[in-house]
């Protein structure tokens, strides 16, 4: 930190800000607005010593001249090189970059420890929802069995707009982009990759094992059909993009992100708009749900600022002594199934027979439409996902099935 006197006569701390998008701009505003509070809290007056934008600034020089680095530029390069440069110089880094951490965290966290530099990332998951601190610190000695999360604000905003206001997918995506929720490339949001990166980090915190985004199976919302949302409402189900991180009885870990139908009674079912929410399940604490604004400039910048204050306080860094846990080979899920079929005798029984062969039990079934527009809509009980994939493959090959079958996971209260 610098000995230069700050505005109130205290020491200054030079903050190098890498990125001036939605979050960077909000942070720079907050640093000015909250400067007196930061100084009162930490005894240090924050000064933005450099800002790297797409067109201006020298990243290396900004890192070299600052005391603390805030990385809110996103993407892998040059973010990774600049974060490494800061850590190797022993400078604390606060980042919101979930893609970087979920791909390179196995190198970056040890590098930070080796150089005694803080590497904080509350803003990388859940926007303003303080989930990183709760899992990594408050619950660090609690045996977590499962974490469910709505961890992408853009997709939750889109699904809410489609389900509640009947907006088209494209219209809702544009609104989410205009509001500053979406990533620079919204494909990361709608493909589930943003949520997968965040669930990898939550799994790492929950189970104390390194999880890369490459270990997270994910499906996005870009291929959903409005019809399915409408049918599922008849079964009293809400559609959300849900991340699940769980430790199975055999000690293996499964982390996945998929559209999922939730019963209206589930705590995540009523989380709407750009809000995020995470439920943590443990025999010691039953279930804890944290919820709040999950995207956007100010909520995310407020999480960055909280980390910055911790760093300026010199708070102890969480340790990353990871254990090695295997990746689960298969998991059980209940499914919603939609088949376009010929409207003929025996069709339903043949579909049911294939499901039965794979030991998949049907919970409810309905026929929609008739003649050329006939469709079978089913909800199953839980079964291994590999068995479901095999059954769908077999059903697709039956002569009376038209179009691609659709399968969406359903949260099953009985067993989950």
Chain contacts with ligand HSE (rule: CB under 6 A): 152-154, 181-183, 189, 194, 294-295
C-alpha to C-alpha distance for 276 and 215, rounded to whole angstroms: 22
Phi and psi torsions of 275, nearest 5°: -65, 150
- State the nearest-atom distance from the C-beta of 97 to ligand HSE, in Å: 9
Which residue, chain included where needed, has tokens 């389900």? 163
C-alpha to C-alpha distance for 387 and 400, rounded to whole angstroms: 21
Identity of the residue, 155 or 358, whose beta carbon is nearer to ligand HSE in the bound complex: 155
**Judging by DSSP bridges, how do beta strands 217-218 and 44-52 pair with one another?**
unpaired
- State the nearest-atom distance from the C-beta of 194 to ligand HSE, in Å: 5
Identity of the residue, 117 or 216, whose beta carbon is nearer to ligand HSE in the bound complex: 216
- State the nearest-atom distance from the C-beta of 189 to ligand HSE, in Å: 5
For residue 268 the two structure tokens come to: 């995540």
- State the nearest-atom distance from the C-beta of 165 to ligand HSE, in Å: 18
Q: Are the C-beta atoms of 370 and 327 separated by less than 8 Å?
A: no
Q: Are the C-beta atoms of 358 and 383 separated by less than 8 Å?
A: yes
- State the nearest-atom distance from the C-beta of 72 to ligand HSE, in Å: 10
Identity of the residue, 59 or 126, whose beta carbon is nearer to ligand HSE in the bound complex: 126
C-alpha to C-alpha distance for 380 and 257, rounded to whole angstroms: 19
Identity of the residue, 122 or 412, whose beta carbon is nearer to ligand HSE in the bound complex: 122
Instruction: Give, for 27, the enclosing helix (H) or strand (E).
Output: helix 22-33
Clarify whether 98 is annotated catalytic: no
Bridge partners, 401 (sequence order) = 341
Phi-psi group of 143: left, alpha or beta (phi > 0 → left; psi -120 to 50 → alpha; rest → beta): beta
The active-site residue out of 91, 104, 198, 247 is 198
Identity of the residue, 129 or 351, whose beta carbon is nearer to ligand HSE in the bound complex: 129
Catalytic residues: 198
């Amino acid at each position: 930190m610098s000995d230069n006197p700050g505005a109130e006569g205290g020491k200054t701390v030079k903050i190098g800000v890498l990125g001036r998008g939605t979050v960077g701009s909000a942070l720079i505003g907050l640093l000015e607005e909250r400067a007196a509070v930061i100084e009162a809290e930490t005894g240090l007056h924050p000064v933005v010593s450099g800002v790297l934008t797409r067109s201006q600034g020298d990243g290396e020089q900004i890192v070299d001249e600052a005391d603390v680095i805030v990385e809110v530029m996103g993407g892998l390069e040059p973010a990774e090189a600049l974060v490494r440069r800061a850590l190797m110089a022993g400078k604390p880094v606060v980042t919101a970059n979930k893609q970087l951490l979920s791909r390179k965290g196995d190198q970056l966290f040890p590098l930070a420890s080796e150089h005694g530099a803080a590497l904080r990332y509350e803003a990388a998951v859940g926007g303003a929802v303080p989930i990183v601190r709760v899992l990594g610190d408050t619950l660090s000695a609690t045996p977590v069995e499962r974490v469910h999360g709505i961890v992408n604000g853009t997709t939750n905003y889109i699904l809410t707009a489609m389900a509640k206001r009947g907006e088209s997918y494209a219209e809702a995506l544009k609104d989410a982009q205009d509001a500053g929720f979406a990533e620079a490339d919204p494909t990361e949001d709608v493909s589930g990759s943003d949520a997968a990166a965040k669930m990898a980090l939550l799994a790492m915190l929950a189970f104390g094992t390194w999880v890369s985004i490459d270990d997270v199976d994910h499906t996005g919302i870009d291929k959903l059909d409005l019809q399915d949302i409408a049918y599922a409402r008849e079964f009293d189900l809400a559609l959300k993009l849900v991340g699940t991180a769980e430790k199975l009885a055999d000690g293996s870990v499964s982390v996945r992100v998929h559209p999922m139908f939730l019963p209206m009674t589930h705590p995540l079912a009523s989380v709407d708009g750009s809000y995020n929410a995470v439920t943590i399940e443990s025999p010691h604490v039953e279930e804890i749900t944290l919820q709040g604004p999950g995207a956007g400039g100010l909520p995310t910048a407020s999480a960055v600022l909280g980390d910055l204050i911790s760093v300026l306080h010199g708070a102890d860094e969480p340790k990353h002594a990871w254990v090695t846990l295997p990746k689960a080979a298969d998991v059980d899920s209940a499914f919603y199934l939609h088949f376009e079929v010929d409207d003929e005798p025996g069709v339903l029984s043949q579909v049911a027979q294939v499901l039965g062969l794979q030991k998949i039990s049907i919970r409810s079934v309905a026929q929609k439409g008739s003649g050329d527009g006939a469709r079978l809509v089913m909800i199953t009980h839980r079964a291994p996902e590999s068995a479901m994939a095999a059954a769908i493959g077999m059903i697709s090959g039956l002569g009376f099935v038209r179009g691609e079958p659709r399968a969406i996971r359903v949260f099953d209260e009985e067993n989950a």
